[in-house]
Amino acid sequence: MRRLLLVTEILALTALTALLAVVAVTLCRRFEALPALPAQARPLDPAFLRLSPAEIAALPVAVRWDAPLGSEHGALTYNAQPFRVTRHLGDDLNGIGGYNSDLGDPIFAAAAGRVVYSGVPGEGWGNMLILAHRVPNPQTGELEVVQSVYAHMEKVLVHFGQTLARGEQLGTVGTANGIYWAHLHFEIRFGPYINPSVGYADAPLNRTSPERFVAEHRGAADDLLNPAPR
């Protein structure tokens, strides 16, 4: 009786093995018949984009700053939504006419810097540029990485990697493709991480008041109109 059971088990295992082999061969043939799909790299999270030490060392040193919109000292403009009002992480700079009166007006580099981001990171941003600068710390004198951000632009007139002088035109005022009335969303950020990120948050993150920063780092007397170097 035991011998009969053993023979039965062996036959059952043999049959199961043969069945699994047939299934494996069938599946392999079907997979071979499938069209080859091109490998697609996953997009890199912009939060992990960081300037290298070599890139930081090559950034222009920004010792003088100006308002990015309007004439010298930011004349003929007003700040429609200052930093941290309604959780805002920048300043919304408008021409004094409001509405779309400043549509197409020139936007200037607030300081000497290099374009480290150019693109449309999201619907609410529209065209965005980020310039990176090295700025002397007022207390220590050490050079720190500072970014200036320009968003909602109608036209971008510079390209990624380009080095700009203070006061050089980099684009024109836009509406983020009709989402807002024309204005410039302007930010000042600290650090080497190049991340478009968000324009509103409960905390200031790595941002500071652009109006105050430009005033504190202007690098010129108030009665000097501070034209861009040519």
pLDDT of residue 190: 97
The DSSP symbol for 2 reads H
Q: What is the C-alpha separation between 135 and 132, in angstroms, rounded?
A: 10
pLDDT of residue 139: 87
Q: What is the C-alpha separation between 68 and 183, in angstroms, rounded?
A: 12
Please report, in angstroms and rounded to a whole number, the separation of the first and last CA atoms in the chain.
Answer: 104
Closest CA to 92 of 175, 215, 197: 175
CA angle 229, 65, 50 (to 5 degrees): 105
CA angle 79, 83, 88 (to 5 degrees): 110
pLDDT of residue 197: 93
pLDDT of residue 220: 84
pLDDT of residue 230: 47
Helix (H, G, I), strand (E, B) or coil at 171: strand
pLDDT in tens, the chain (230 residues): 556 555 566 666 676 676 666 666 665 666 566 565 555 555 556 567 899 999 999 999 999 999 999 887 778 899 999 999 999 999 999 999 889 999 999 999 999 999 999 999 998 999 999 999 999 998 898 999 999 999 999 999 999 999 999 999 999 999 999 999 999 999 999 999 999 999 999 999 999 999 999 999 998 887 776 665 54
Q: What share of the chain is helix, strand, coil (3-state, %, to 5)?
A: 25, 30, 50
Do residues 150 and 106 lie in contact, with contact meaning Cβ atoms separated by under 8 Å? Answer: no
